[in-house]
Structure 1
Amino acid sequence: MSTARTALRRAGVVTALAAAGVLTAAGVASAHVTVHPDSYAKGATDGVLTFRVPNEEDTASTTKVQVFLPTDHPVLGVLVSPPQNGWTAKVTNTKLKTPVKTDDGTITDAVSEITWTGGKIGAGQYQDFNVAFGQLPENTDQLTFKTLQTYSDGKTVRWIEEAQSGEDEPENPAPVLKLTAKGAEEGSTPAASAKASNISGSSGGSAGSASASADSSDSTARGLGVAGLGVGVLGLAAAAFALVRNRANRAE
């Protein structure tokens, strides 16, 4: 695939993702900043990462989000979505200590930080921030994206703690993307597209089987929620019908 065609393809993905906005989320009070999907194949190309940021404060809004990308194992060809819901992104590049050789040449610098400002995430809401990439690294098993979340009252939550093997999850864990062996990801592109579509209305990348499983779980939960709502509505309708019939019997 030529460089021009790759750039156009990823630009199209980012444009499609611009429709993602602030969504109301039930039970996000105890949620963490996360990255979706949670796994990709090593060396995956032309994909999308979605950073989901919930507002955990009842009396303040999230007004700034900073995501730090690793530079020891850089993510190449990063693109951000156009301004949406008031949010604009500032991208910071850093000179790499070890240049990366690719089919299109040697890369000497990469994105090290993305800062979103200008928008607002209110209480009981979350925001999806979409980032397209050209290529993920092949020489590591995971990527950690340390994140800072700033609120309107000046409070900053540092999502930077890394989980240790055999220990409980830290209080403020950093979003982690697992990178799996290429063979384990073969044939997973349709699941990846479905995952990205569910999150932000567009497909992107080759997500792993773990993300497909998570998507299935999310879909099941949503289905159960809708079913529960339907049962509730039917119950109210039945109660109303019984009340009307009882009054009619009394009138007779």
Structure 2
Amino acid sequence: MNVSRIAIAGGVAVSTALLLAGPAAAHVSVQPQGAAAKGGYATINFKVPNERDNASTVKLEVNLPTDHPLASVSAQAVPGWKIDITKSKLAKPLDVHGKKINEAVSKVTWTADGSGIAPGYFQQFPLSVGQLPEDADQLVFKALQTYSNKEVVRWIEEPTEGGEEPESPAPVLALTAPAEDAHGGAADDKSGDDAKAEGSTASAGEASSSSADDSTARVLGVIGIVVGIAGVAFGVLAGRRRTA
């Protein structure tokens, strides 16, 4: 009986913890497709769950960071949603590949053309962004989620290191260590010189292998000839002995 009571109490405690953790985890978040490396480019997804039982999400506004402006921002088409991109003038121009950039995207807005995100569903909104900053470990994207009943949820609270998660946290993109190439990915392709060196090494190896095969064939041929001669000589001697 005691064991059963303990098991039941434990199950109730776990269920309660899950129920309490559910709503806290259901907020607008951002995740990269792959790695978001410092100094590179990345495709990121804003995941928007619908938290209401009696209304649909009909608009998402994402404000891009102004302390680390992104010179390149493009949105992927999302069926059933209209996309508006807002640009703002920069206080300090960006230098991108030797070109001065005086304005950058400051906000991206998705507005539903139809029913939006229904209760119990979520939607992802992709963006291609870059060049990611090299002097930051994360980027904060403040977002506003609008429901069909006119309610607006402001996901704008910045989390603090070591602190508890805010009630309405802003989406945070964690940045990884710089990649080997300039586009946020590992440099898989080797340079021309390296490729030529590898090609030369491979050719030399093939030549050495062919030479070794030829030498082996020649040695075996010589051995075969010697064995044949020995066989003939043995036959002649055997014939002479029978005659004698």
- TM-score range with shorter-chain normalisation? 0.5 to 0.7
Gaps of 5+ in 1: 1-26, 188-203, 208-252
Distance in 1 (CA, whole Å) between partners of 2:79 and 2:93 is: 36
1:34 to 22, 29, 34: 29
Question: Are 2:139 and 2:172, in contact at CA under 8 Å, matched by a contact in 1?
Answer: yes
Structure 2 Cα separation of the partners of residues 95 and 42 of structure 1: 24
Residue in structure 2 matched with residue 148 of structure 1 by the alignment: 144
Distance, in Å, in 2 between the alignment partners of 1:76 and 1:35 is 19
1:206: Cα distance to partner?
A: 3.8
Correspondence for 2:91 among 80, 97, 101: 97
Q: 2:68 is matched with which residue: 68, 73, 77?
A: 73
* Distance in structure 2 (CA, Å) of the matches to 1:206 and 1:143: 19
Write out per-residue CA displacement over residues 163-191 of structure 1, whole angstroms, 9 at most, x where no aligned residue. 11221111111011122331xx459xxxx
Q: Does 1:166 align with 2:141?
A: no
Give a deviation string over 1:4-56, Cα, whole Å, max 9, x none: xxxxxxxxxxxxxxxxxxxxxxx9754111111296211112x2111010000
Code of the residue aligned with 2:58 in structure 1: it is T
Partner of 2:118: 122
Identity of aligned residues (%): 49
In 2, distance between residues paired with 1:180 and 1:31? Answer: 25
Task: Please give the alpha-carbon distance, in whole angstroms, between the structure 2 residues aligned to 1:55 and 1:79.
Answer: 25
Q: Do 2:39 and 2:184's aligned partners in 1 also have CA atoms closer than 8 Å?
A: no
What pairs with 1:84-233 in structure 2 (closer than 5 Å)? 84-119=78-113, 120-182=116-178, 185=179, 206=185
Q: Residue 128 of structure 1: SS of its match in structure 2?
A: strand
Aligned-partner SS, 1:121: coil
Unpaired segments of 5 or more residues in structure 2? 1-20, 187-244
Residues 132-164 of structure 1: CA deviation (Å, up to 9, x unaligned): 124212222211000000001111111001111
The 8 Å contact of residues 31 and 54 in structure 1, kept in 2 or not, is answered as yes
Q: Between Structure 1 and Structure 2, whose CA radius of gyration is higher?
A: 2
Which residue does the alignment assign to 1:233? none
4+ residue runs of structure 1 moved beyond 4 angstroms? 27-30
Alignment partner, residue 235 of structure 1: none
Query: 2:134 & 2:126 partners in 1: Cα distance?
Result: 22
Give the distance between the partners of 2:73 and 2:163, measured in 1 at CA.
33
> 2 CA distance for matches of 1:68 and 1:177?
13
Scaled by the length of structure 1, what TM-score is found?
0.59
Do the aligned partners of 2:61 and 2:143 also contact (CA within 8 Å) in 1? yes
Q: Secondary structure, in 3 states, of the residue corresponding to 1:44?
A: coil
Q: Is the 8 A contact 2:86 2:108 kept in 1?
A: yes
The amino acid across from 1:173 in the alignment is P
Q: CA deviation at 1:104?
A: 4.7
Root mean square deviation, CA, Å: 2.5
Q: 2:40 is matched with which residue?
A: 44
Query: Alignment length, in residue pairs?
Result: 162
Q: In 1, distance between residues paired with 2:95 and 2:79?
A: 37
Question: Cα–Cα, structure 1 residues 54 and 76, in superposed 2: closer, same or farther, change >3 Å?
Answer: same
Work out the CA distance in 2 between the residues paired with 1:206 and 1:110: 23
Q: Does 1:63 align with 2:58?
A: yes
